[in-house]
Amino acid sequence: MEEKMKLQPEDFQALEVTTELDAEKIAAPSLTFTQDAWRRLKKNKGAVISLFIVLIMIVLSFGSTPFVNRDTLVKSQPQYANLPSKIPGVNINGLNGKAEVGGVWVDKYAQAGVPKDKYFIFGTDYLGRSLGQRILYGTKISLIVALVATFFDLTIGVTYGIVSGWKGGRTDNVMQRIIEVISSVPSLVIVVLMLVVFKPGIGSIILAIAISSWTTMARMIRAETLQLKSQEYVLAARTLGESPTKIAWKHLVPNLSSIIIIQTMYTIPNAIFFEAFLSFIGIGISAPETSLGVLLNEGQKNFQFLPYQMWYPAIVLCVLMISFNLLGDGLRDAFDPKTRR
């Protein structure tokens, strides 16, 4: 496990003393905390690729808003139903508009009378709606859910944790008991109750995830705040009469940033999974809205005959989850090198 150095007799020769040698000189450029983390992150190939995939997905799904919105989603063209994918210039069976019917590859586009210059890159669903557009929209929903979950993690979770850790004593005790009660209720139950009480839809899903997702963050922030509280610089700030809000904002939050970033990266895949899961079993987002979970549910119904309708959304969802997980691991290693092995 330990690296063995190959030492040669020359290595034991004394160095010539030159005048330029300066023991005090710092050879490497001094880096700030963020620069240092960024440098470490860049070395992690998986994380960098994931970062690019996530960025591309964000740009594509949010950039498509003017072209793909609720109006285009409900526009059905039943004559184009269940067309396989057709990509311009590609002539591989399954990707060129042909589908296997009874062992023979048939050009579905010609059968349906689709104009020659019309392509559905990801095919169409059972109502003739472009699957590609629906996947883009679904990805956007997933990303929005992730974004909002992060927002609540940051606002409720971080604030709650800092207040609890900072105040200490009885306040801390009561606040921790509340967290204990909330986190011993399965988040599934909270989510389901929310969805039963409010109308299923993106609003209630987001609310439900918001209520159940912040407790882990609050716990970690509290534990760290307890330690930071006794640091000299915090003591100095207190002695100078700085207000607690300002101490929290200027001294605690910057020092908590690595935990915050790492924990956020765990919340995001969870939130995306939860939305897809709820929509898949039919208690989350429902028509006319769509999401990756809804698409998977629709695709699963005729997976045997039209496998692409499930495969495409499944691949997009898996790629999204893998990217966020890899990025999360990369960020953890970058911001907290101690845990790296």
Partner 1 sequence: MKKYLLKRVFYMALTLFLVATITFFLMKLMPGTPYSNQEKMSPEQIAIMNQQYGLDKPIWMQYLLYMGGMLHGDLGTSFQFSNQPVSYLISSRIGASAQLGIQAMIFGIFFGIIFGSIAAINRNTWVDTSVTVLSIIGKSVPNFVLAVLLQYYIALKLGWFPIADWDGFAYTILPTIALGVGPLAETSRFMRTGMVDVLNSDYIELAKAKGLSKFQIVYHHALRNSLIPLVTLIGPYTVALMTGSMVIENIFSIPGIGEQFVKSILTNDYPTIMGVTMLYSAGLVAVILLTDIIYGIIDPRIRLAGNGD
Q: Does 326 bind partner 1 (CB under 8 A)?
A: yes
Q: Does 304 bind partner 1 (CB under 8 A)?
A: yes
Q: Does 334 bind partner 1 (CB under 8 A)?
A: no
- Give bridge partners of residue 256 from the DSSP assignment: none
- Draw the binding track, 115-154, toward partner 1 (x: CB under 8 A; -: no contact): ----------------------------------------
Binding residue count for partner 1, defined by CB under 8 A = 39
Q: Does 192 bind partner 1 (CB under 8 A)?
A: yes
Which residue number, 74 or 318, has a Cβ lying nearer to partner 1? 318
Stretch that binds partner 1, among 26-34, 96-104, 111-119, 192-200 (CB under 8 A): 192-200
Task: Please name which of 156, 159, 212, 150 lies closest in space to residue 184, comparing C-alpha atoms.
Answer: 212
Q: Does 60 bind partner 1 (CB under 8 A)?
A: no
User: CA-CA distance, 144 to 54, in Å (whole number)?
Assistant: 13
Site for partner 1 in 217-236 (CB under 8 A): none
Q: Does 53 bind partner 1 (CB under 8 A)?
A: no
For residue 309 the two structure tokens come to 């309708």
**CA dist 101 → 28, 67, 137, 194 (Å):** 66, 33, 30, 45
Residue 215 · residue 183 · CB < 8 Å: yes
Residue 286 · residue 203 · CB < 8 Å: no
Q: Which of 37, 256, 276, 331 is close enough to bind partner 1 by CB under 8 A?
A: 276
Q: Which of 206, 248, 296, 334 is close enough to bind partner 1 by CB under 8 A?
A: 296
Q: Does 187 bind partner 1 (CB under 8 A)?
A: yes
User: CA-CA distance, 210 to 153, in Å (whole number)?
Assistant: 7
Site for partner 1 in 155-184 (CB under 8 A): 177, 180-181, 184
Q: In angstroms, give the least distance from the CB of 109 to partner 1.
A: 26
Residue 52 · residue 327 · CB < 8 Å: no
Q: Does 287 bind partner 1 (CB under 8 A)?
A: no
Q: Does 317 bind partner 1 (CB under 8 A)?
A: yes
Instruction: Indicate the residue type of 18.
Output: T
Stretch that binds partner 1, among 56-64, 221-229, 230-238, 307-315 (CB under 8 A): 307-315
The number of beta carbons lying within 10 Å of the beta carbon of residue 131 is 25
User: CA-CA distance, 111 to 92, in Å (whole number)?
Assistant: 18
For residue 163 the two structure tokens come to 């207040």
Residue 272 · residue 324 · CB < 8 Å: yes
Which residue number, 81 or 192, has a Cβ lying nearer to partner 1? 192
For residue 246 the two structure tokens come to 């300002």
User: CA-CA distance, 26 to 23, in Å (whole number)?
Assistant: 8
Q: Are strands 104-107 and 98-101 parallel, antiparallel or unpaired?
A: antiparallel
Which residue number, 100 or 180, has a Cβ lying nearer to partner 1? 180
Q: Does 197 bind partner 1 (CB under 8 A)?
A: yes
Kindly list the residues in this chain that would bind partner 1 in the complex (CB under 8 A): 1, 177, 180-181, 184-189, 192-193, 195-197, 269, 273, 276-277, 280-283, 296, 300, 303-304, 307, 310, 314, 317-318, 321-322, 325-326, 329, 339, 341
